[in-house]
Amino acid sequence: ERGQWHLSNSREKLAEHLKATGGKVITRFPPEPNGYLHIGHAKAMFVDFGYAENVGGECILRFDDTNPEAEKQEYIDHIEDIVGWMGYKPSKVTHSAHYFQQLYEYAVKLIETGNAFVDHQTAEEVKLYREERRPSPWRNRPVQESLKLFEDMRAGLIDEGKACLRMKMDHKNENYNMFDLVAYRIKFMPHPITGEAWCIYPTYDYTHCLVDAIENITHSLCTLEFESRRASYYWLLHVLGTYKPLVWEYARLGITYNVLSKRKLKKLVTEGHVSGWDDPRLLTLAGLRRRGARPQAIKNMCREIGITRNETEIPLHKLDYHIRADLDTAAERVLAVLKPLKLVLTNLPEDYSHTVEAKLFPSNPDSGTYPVPLSRVVYIEETDFKEADPDKALKAPGRPGEKKEKFFGMAPGKECVLKYAGLVMCTGLRKEGDKLVEVHGEFQPLKAGQKLPKGVLSWVGQATPGREPPRFEARLYDRLFNTASVADTGEDWLEDLNPKSLITVEGAMATPRLAAAAVGDKFQLERLGFFCVDPDSMPGKLVINRTCTLKADYNK
Ligand code: ATP
Ligand code: MG
Ligand code: MG
């Protein structure tokens, strides 16, 4: 039997299991509620929920909550919320803590069958002895003694650190994870679910496989770092004679210019390097949601990269690509100006007040429209105007290898299209000192069949002549770190934070449609990128996040 036990499921156990599942595939997604979920967890959900969905099975959301010092109700609530946001419906929501009594009884059985003992080595001694493959001096103490001490541990009669329960595995094994792992430790600490009921808590290694067996999980899918723990997983189920799930591992997801471990994310949050777990620069799911990404984009990326066993970091631009492609079909277009420059249409009267119809999806002739006020004073993008037309310089001979970019914006003497409205011939400008204050132009409505200049400008008009359009704050994001592989920078990883990862633009101008948007609404601001209304918005103060630009940046 030895050597085969990890594959064998006794006939009776399998029959019991089949009766419980009805032959259905049951998976679980087992987050520890010690932080917010990140995009790596989205991959895990894609595997756990996705596999079950594909084969008509079910997936349990199980909080793997065996470390009360790190776990919080806030995290539990958030995880349930964000799993729902991703569009996954767990067949039930459970906690490892729900099984603490059953796990305790299994531990007593382990001791009784000579498969566990109470140990008194310190953490350092355990580590040293394990490295030297030496057994603990307490390993062969009488069963009765261990039973009594374990009861004392449970009753709170032994101090923290003075005793633990260890599994009596195989300290001669090649696999470090077979060397008498700790099953229970003493922690005088309340638990978010069980409160003060327990002062001993089971470890991950002890709990995970047992709860998988108790919940009749058919496929226990996890990341590759657990591969070396497969042996201990099956060892424990074997000695306790339970049913054995199938275990299968896949590669963890990493993304360039970011960190994904909860330990690092927590440090960024608690030390104030970002505004919170949902800072749009983080690849937490809450951050991605706030930034404006939709769950489908995240799932599409997971599908594209596939479920493989080779560990690679996915380039950030791949995630951007999926977010952009998904929003492209979903987010209606709207005109807005980030850095407004006043343009006076001098041939229109002071009280001129019209509306033009702008397209929700310009590339689709049948898409609907929304009204944009057109007035004598409109605002264009500051970067769309140049006092001296660089196009003229284009005609002059360049230096060898010089790349000249064509300028399609406005310049004195040049004609441009004011998008959806008409043509403007730039006739002049007004300066105060060195500062450009306004540009002047003459406006002409578009005529059918007319040949148009190449330059097309985004703009915003005044709904009430003489009154400025509503302003908003735009938050533009860049990658959070300057180094592609942050994991390779060791403990100095914080030094690689990009100081310009957030650029706040105040005083951007909105068309009325954008000004009336609600938190979470998503738009493409024409030419500027995809944006999403931020929860920091208040009546009279709109804040919007740039989710992504319109063009890929392959340097990410
Ligand atoms: P972290 O180091 O971020 O805390 P973790 O593995 O401790 O990660 P858990 O909450 O225990 O986080 O993870 C729940 C599930 O999500 C586990 O099955 C785990 O393997 C999986 N998971 C966590 N991070 C990733 C990742 N980067 N890629 C794929 N799966 C992941
Ligand atoms: Mg974990
Ligand atoms: Mg962890």
Ligand 2 center–CA 212 separation, angstroms: 14
**Does the beta carbon of 496 lie inside 6 Å of ligand 1?**
no
Relative to the CA of 265, which ligand 1 atom is closest?
A: 3
**Does the beta carbon of 43 lie inside 6 Å of ligand 1?**
yes
186 beta partners? 200
Ligand 2 center–CA 31 separation, angstroms: 6
Q: Label residue 397 by pLDDT band (50, 70, 90).
A: low
CA distance 262 to 496: 18
CA distance 497 to 486: 9
Using alpha carbons, list the distances in angstroms from residue 556 to 52, 79, 315, 495.
34, 29, 6, 18
- 20-33 average pLDDT score: 95
- Alpha carbon 240 to its chain's center: 39
* Burial of residue 11, with CB atoms counted within 10 A of its CB: 0-12 exposed, 13-18 middle, 19 or more buried: exposed
Per residue in 508-518, pLDDT (tens digit) is 999 999 999 99
Residue 111 has pLDDT above 70, yes or no: yes
Residue 319 has pLDDT above 80, yes or no: yes
Catalytic residue (one of 166, 262, 414, 479): 262
Q: Label residue 1 by pLDDT band (50, 70, 90).
A: very low
Active site residue 475: no
- According to DSSP, residue 70 is labeled T
Identify whether the C-beta of residue 259 lies closer than 8 Å to the C-beta of residue 492.
Answer: no
Active site residue 294: no
Residue 6 has pLDDT above 70, yes or no: no
Active site residue 262: yes
CATH superfamily for 341-468 is Ribosomal Protein L25; Chain P (2.40.240.10)
- According to DSSP, residue 385 is labeled B
**Does the beta carbon of 252 lie inside 6 Å of ligand 1?**
yes
CA distance 64 to 119: 25
Q: What is the pLDDT of residue 173?
A: 87
Residue 276 has pLDDT above 50, yes or no: yes
CATH number 3.40.630.30 given to 255-332+474-548: no
Would you list the domain boundaries of the chain?
11-250, 255-332+474-548, 341-468
Percent of the chain at pLDDT above 90? 83
Amino acid at 187: K
- 314-338 average pLDDT score: 97
H or E stretch covering 391: helix 390-395
Q: What is the pLDDT of residue 225?
A: 85
Nearest-10 crossing angle of helices 100-112, 143-155: 160
Nearest to 259 by CA among 520, 543, 501, 550: 501
Ligand closest to 75 (CA) is 1
Ligand 1, atom 25, lies closest to the CA of 40
Identify whether the C-beta of residue 370 lies closer than 8 Å to the C-beta of residue 465.
Answer: no
Relative to the CA of 44, which ligand 1 atom is closest?
A: 30
Q: What is the pLDDT of residue 172?
A: 81
- According to DSSP, residue 465 is labeled T
For ligand 1, mutation pick of 41, 45, 266 (most atoms within 8 Å of CB):
41
Strand order in the sheet with 182-186: 116-119, 164-167, 182-186, 200-202
Per residue in 34-61, pLDDT (tens digit) is 999 999 999 999 999 999 999 999 999 9
Residues 6+ apart with CB under 8 A from 551: none
- Mean of pLDDT over the chain: 94
- 140-168 average pLDDT score: 98
Strand order in the sheet with 26-29: 26-29, 58-63, 93-95
Q: What is the pLDDT of residue 404?
A: 65
CA distance 549 to 328: 11
**CATH number listed for the domain at residues 11-250:** 3.40.50.620
Q: What is the pLDDT of residue 317?
A: 96
CA distance 292 to 520: 7
Identify whether the C-beta of residue 336 lies closer than 8 Å to the C-beta of residue 511.
Answer: yes
Residues 6+ apart with CB under 8 A from 106: 210, 240
Higher pLDDT, 295 or 390: 295
- Alpha carbon 324 to its chain's center: 15
CA distance 176 to 21: 34
Q: Label residue 30 by pLDDT band (50, 70, 90).
A: very high
Q: What is the pLDDT of residue 14?
A: 83
CA distance 55 to 154: 42
Q: What is the pLDDT of residue 368?
A: 94
Per residue in 413-448, pLDDT (tens digit) is 999 999 999 999 999 999 999 999 999 999 999 888
Backbone dihedral angles phi then psi of residue 306, each to the nearest 5 degrees: 75, 170
Residue 10 has pLDDT above 80, yes or no: no
Buried b (16+ CB within 10 A) or exposed e, 74-109: ebbebbeebbeebebebbeebbbbbbbeebbebbbe
Q: Do domains 255-332+474-548 and 341-468 have the same CATH topology?
A: no
